[in-house]
Amino acid sequence: MALAQTLTQLEIQTQGKGFTRLNELIETWLRSKHVEQGVLHLTCLHTSCSITINENADPRVLNDLAAWMEAVVPQDGKGPANAQGQRRRYQHDDEGDDDMPAHIRTALTSQTMTLSVQNAHLLLGTWQAVYLWEHRQLGSTRRIACHLIGDKRATSTQASQTTATTTQTASNQTLLNLRNATRLNQQIQDRIHPEAWAEDGGNPTDVDLLIDRLHDISDP
């Protein structure tokens, strides 16, 4: 495996105020990156929506979260009551009554999160899911930056290429060994003739010493 990283942006079309589950979208993207194990950092690139991890089984959990947020930050364009019990309008209301409340809701929640990746999947608990929480009344196209760092597994094509290279290297080494063995065998055959000693004036060569050593090893 080799360490790799990639950075991209995923687009999500929301249907208005509420939760959009992101697990399947992120998992599909993860599979295309072939990262076996690593870390995924998510950043929501907006100021009127957020990302969160919460219950994935009972939809009433999300309903209760939405009701709690509505009670804490109403979307009627007015802020908290003052000492006299009066609620003044927010100064920032360029895009409607839900404009400033959406920014406050974003500030109270989360814009980023870091997740572990294991076996090319998000490492989440049994009841956990990743959600984009839209705080505006109307739907919008949202973008999430995904920065993935981890160990990249070889694709089937890369694995085949690696195997072919390894096989070719092994074959080349085998051929080299055979060639060297053939040369040595020929040198030994040349030296076992008495005439070879006479040609060298009776002085032993390295091959002669090797032959003597082989005799020592083979003798009982």
Q: 161, 75 in Cβ contact below 8 A?
A: no
Q: State residue 182's pLDDT score.
A: 67
DSSP reduced 3-state for 60: helix
For the segment 129-184, what is each residue's pLDDT rounded down to a tens digit?
Answer: 999 999 999 999 999 999 999 998 766 555 556 555 555 665 666 656 656 666 76
Secondary-structure class of domain 2-153 per CATH: mainly beta
CA–CA separation, 135 and 133 (whole Å) = 6
| Cα–Cα distance, 63 to 71 (Å, whole number) | 12
Question: What are the extents of the domains in the chain?
Answer: 2-153, 157-218
Whole-model pTM over 0.95? no
**Average pLDDT per block of 10 residues along the chain, 220 residues long:** 92 96 97 96 98 96 97 92 90 93 97 97 97 96 98 67 57 63 66 59 64 61
> Alpha carbon of 94 to those of 4, 21, 107: distances in Å?
43, 29, 18
**Distances from the Cα of 104 to the Cαs of 48, 132, 140, 208, in angstroms?**
8, 16, 18, 92
Which residue type occupies 207?
V
- Answer yes or no: are the C-beta atoms of 36 and 17 closer than 8 Å: no
